[in-house]
Structure 1
Amino acid sequence: MRFHRNRSHVIDLIFPLAVLFVFAASSLVVLILSVHIYTGQTEQAEAHYRTDTPLSYVEEKIRQNDVAGNIAVMTLDGTECLALKNSSDGINSTTYIYVSDGWLKELFVRDDTDVSLNAGKNIIEASDFKVAELNNGLYRITITDTEGVTNSRILSERSHS
């Protein structure tokens, strides 16, 4: 009877190590790609937040005050403002939306009081805010964030006839 001797080959050690190395390298490549994709998506989401959020905010404010003649573009103290007039319980008021000191601001005042743009409430950081009336009841709202990215929307007064 012949005894079968267990022979050890170099390939018995190299093959499992090679498979382990390929698995580790593949895992590392997937991890690096995931980090790159996540970073890009996060930067894009932040850029959209800085411009789309204030535009949506202004759009909603216009919709809330969408009564014929209640929306105007004006300049106060050298600052371009979007003025939204409102009347509730016989009290007339105006909401001013503008950029000052690096912030998009909102100031809500009664019409019988003095307007000081320094008293506005900070909404979101922005470097520029422009409102242009394109036609009767059609407005272009443009916001530039602190990074210099500019975004705009065209809105129409639904109440305008």
Structure 2
Amino acid sequence: MKSQQQMNSRRFSIVIILPIILFCFFAFTGISVVMYGARVYETTIHKSTLDYSARTAIAYMTEKIRQNDTYGSVQLGSFEDCQALVLIPRESVDDASIRTYIYFYENNLCELTTTDPASVHPSAGTPILPLKSVSISFLSDHLLHFKCVDNWGNDAETCIALLSQEVKS
């Protein structure tokens, strides 16, 4: 009789312990997968955030130059003491009354559209992106070099070919 009771007791403990062990195993596995996924997501978001400013500044400058790519409408100049990319809209190339200045001021890439640059201060521009530094230069008559460094130290640069040329008659 005792042996029958011991067997029932062992069966009872295996019947109870086995599901508990399986439950703990699946719970541990599930939590591990969720934690691993959270870490991968966090790393992806962090890297995406780091690359955002530099890549966005490059894309922004490229698009602005492409929008205004007519002969003589993309120039380098200065705005107060800031180096600036001066964009003259197609309809204003002859009289140059409206100008858009894209410049680096107080750790921001800024944009300002004005008819009289002497009457406004660089602080009046719209901050586009926070950056650590910006460099704009012409490598040749039709090749513009743009380099920026974001606040995390990531740098990005591009060369933009101006497609417009002087029309010779």
TM-score by length of 2: 0.82
Aligned to 1:158: 163
What's 2:40 paired with?
A: 37
Q: Is the 8 A contact 1:136 1:160 kept in 2?
A: no
- Residue 40 of structure 1 deviates from its aligned partner by 0.8
Which consecutive residues of structure 1, in runs of 5 or more, have no partner in the other structure?
none
Name the amino acid aligned to 1:21. Answer: C
Question: What is the rounded CA distance, in whole Å, between the counterparts of 2:39 and 2:165 in structure 1?
Answer: 48
From 136, 144, 149, give the equivalent of 1:139. Answer: 144
Task: State the distance in 2 between where 1:41 and 1:57 align.
Answer: 23
Tell me whether 1:109 sits opposite 2:114 in the alignment: yes
SS of the residue corresponding to residue 38 of structure 2 reads helix
Query: In the aligned structure 2, how far is the partner of 1:91 from the partner of 1:131?
Result: 21
Q: Does 1:22 align with 2:31?
A: no
Q: Deviations over 1:68-101 (max 9, x none)?
A: 1221222333322111122536562221111111
Contact between 1:66 and 1:158, CA under 8 Å: does it hold in 2?
yes
* Paired residue total: 158
Of the candidates 74, 77, 80, which is equivalent to residue 74 of structure 1? 77
TM-score, structure 1 as length reference: 0.85
AA at the equivalent of 2:136: V
Kindly indicate which of the two structures has a greater share of residues assigned to helix. Answer: 2
Aligned residue for 2:60? 57
Partner of 1:88: 91
Cα 1:151/1:101, change in 2 over 3 Å: same
Q: Counterpart of 2:152 in structure 1: which amino acid?
A: E
Amino acid at match of 1:92: S
Identity %: 24
Distance 1:78 1:111 in 2: 16
Matched residue of 1:92: which SS? coil
Quote the RMSD (CA, aligned, Å).
Answer: 2.3
Greater Cα shift, 117-126 or 33-42: 117-126
Larger proportion of strand? 1
Is the contact between residue 53 and residue 150 of structure 2 (CA under 8 Å) also seen in structure 1?
yes
User: 1: distance between equivalents of 2:132 and 2:83?
Assistant: 13
2:51 is equivalent to residue 48 of structure 1: yes
Gap runs ≥5 in structure 2: none
